[in-house]
Amino acid sequence: MRISTNQIQLSMLDNLQHGFGEYARLDRQISTQKRILQPSDDPVGSVQLLGLQKEQVAMAQYQKNIANAKSQLSQGEIQLETMTNMLMRLRELTQTAATGSLSDADRKAVASEVAIIKDGLLDLANARNESGSSLFTGSKVDQTALVKQASGDYSYQGDNLVREVSIANGVTVGLNQTADQLFLKPDDFFKRLDSMVTAINDAAPDAVDQARAMLGRSQMLQDSISQAVSTIGARINLLDQIDESHAEKGVYSKEVSNQIESLDYAEAATRQAHVLMALQVQQQAFAKVNGLSLFNYMP
């Protein structure tokens, strides 16, 4: 079969274009220090990289969730620990009132301080974080947790939903306690406290009995808060452990990614030099073939 000059030129031009493309690809690899620039460079490696990148994105999101969860849990823990300190003082005052041997001045002083503590506890139950979200209202973070009604009862404005956040594949952690569980069950703590303050202040006949009953109720509340603080501490420990695990996995995942896509610079530079040499030879050959003409051989 006869091969025309035009076919030879087309073939040589195609080789030149392929060579220029290979040179440009190697140049991009060297400039980026990456071996895989597109899936066709290494189909198997590209699939592995995609999986590792998805894993890294997921772990980064988990770590953000953990940081946010630790912040929210810590805010709740601070409020609860402050409640514990106030309850300790409340119990001291209640114990004093339960003796029934106070002077009028002492009795009113006790009633006054208990009322201040009650307001402080209510403020803590209605605490919000820096973004304005209530800490103890379940998912209804825009609501005030406990509100006093005209009847003297305190009503809960939130719900019983425990907000959860994903911190690992298939692992979630709860972020909140609810004020109704702490203060309204088994009975209305603040209403009883209001009643006791009034009874002590007015020297009511049942003031001592109410104070003694409040000792039991306040101990129950303190135990519940202590349990809540312990739960938060356990959750924060879990978050720390999982966060450390994510960090270690992230480092390993990035090392594997680098091994898959990193470029052997010396090998790439040598190959680029060979491609350039081949291009130069092909260009010279193309120029000679392209310049052939019968007129060059006519006398």
Cα 101 from chain centroid?
55
Radius of gyration of the chain (CA): 38
User: At residue 5, does pLDDT exceed 70?
Assistant: no
- Position 264: which residue type? D
134 bridge partner residues: 128
151 DSSP 8-state letter: T
Note if the bond before 43 is cis, omega within 30 degrees: no
Least confident range of 12-21, 61-70, 130-139, 194-203: 12-21
* Residues present in the chain in total: 299
User: At residue 190, does pLDDT exceed 60?
Assistant: yes
pLDDT of residue 257: 86
Number of Cβ within 10 Å of residue 105's Cβ equals: 8
User: At residue 299, does pLDDT exceed 70?
Assistant: no
User: At residue 24, does pLDDT exceed 70?
Assistant: no
Say how far apart CA 89 and CA 95 lie, in whole Å: 10
pLDDT digits (tens, 9 = 90+) for 101-115: 889 999 999 999 999
SS (H, E, C) 30-65: HHHCECCCCHHHCHHHHHHHHHHHHHHHHHHHHHHH
Q: What are phi and psi of 134, to 5 degrees?
A: -65, 140
pTM (2 d.p.): 0.77
pLDDT of residue 7: 66
Q: Which residue reads 């709860």 in tokens?
A: 174
User: At residue 293, does pLDDT exceed 80?
Assistant: no
Mean pLDDT of the chain: 86
Say how far apart CA 251 and CA 57 lie, in whole Å: 13
SS (H, E, C) 67-107: HHHHHHHHHHHHHHHHHHHHHHHHHHHHHHHHCCCCCHHHH
Distance set, CA 176 to CA 111, 190, 232 (Å): 32, 21, 9
Least confident range of 65-74, 163-172, 282-291: 282-291
164 bridge partner residues: 174
User: At residue 53, does pLDDT exceed 70?
Assistant: yes
* Strand positions, DSSP E, 129-249: 146-148, 154-156, 164-168, 171-174
User: At residue 1, does pLDDT exceed 60?
Assistant: no
Range 276-290 average pLDDT: 64
Cβ(176)–Cβ(136) below 8 Å = yes
pLDDT of residue 294: 47
User: At residue 295, does pLDDT exceed 50?
Assistant: no
Determine the 3-state secondary structure of 109 from DSSP. Answer: helix
Q: What are phi and psi of 262, to 5 degrees?
A: -70, 150
pLDDT digits (tens, 9 = 90+) for 86-97: 999 999 999 999
